[in-house]
Amino acid sequence: MINIRNGVLEDVSAISNVIASSWKSAYRGIVHDEYLDSLNDSHWIDFLSTGMSGQAVFSMVLEQDEDIIGSAILITEEAQAHLLSFYLVPEMIGYGFGHVFYNGVEAELKRRGFVKCVLDVLQDNDRAIRFYEAHGFLDTNSRITAKLGESEYACKVFEKSLLVL
């Protein structure tokens, strides 16, 4: 059974595991192998624990039979949400879970009154770009740089209005 719910502090270890396994799969060939190989399952625990404790970070999880198979991490500011990460465990990609999960995340953002969602994507991550464009995100033509390990990577910035017209 599939369930989408808000993440809680007790989920941070499982969420960190989802992110680590997803990074190692999704970014292989985009990000240097040395950096990806250095990531362990607990890499994001401190960030998540601190952020979720202070309400600076909002998370949602996708569960299948009570196992967390997806996570979304957002920072919210006034009426805008910044989607920091959106990942599924690699073995669940390609079965439609991502689309179901994203639709659930967006519905929750709208329910909470957010009017815009912003995200950035590594410019060479074609699969993610296609996914977000399929969900109505538009390239803002803004670019930022992400520093991962000793290397820098260009990212495209996307946004989507959550207003119902």
State pLDDT tens for residues 62-98: 999 999 999 999 999 889 999 999 999 999 999 999 9
> What residue type is assigned to position 112 of the chain?
R
Identify which of 159, 155, 84, 86 has the alpha carbon closest to the alpha carbon of residue 122: 155
Q: Mind listing the pLDDT tens digit of every residue in the chain (165 residues)?
A: 999 999 999 999 999 999 999 999 999 999 999 999 999 999 999 999 988 887 778 899 999 999 999 999 999 988 999 999 999 999 999 999 999 999 999 999 999 999 999 999 999 999 999 999 999 999 999 999 999 999 999 999 999 999 976
Can you give the pTM of this predicted structure?
0.93
- Max Cα separation, the chain? 46
Identify which of 64, 66, 69, 65 has the alpha carbon closest to the alpha carbon of residue 86: 69
User: 2-118 adopts what CATH topology?
Assistant: Aminopeptidase (3.40.630)
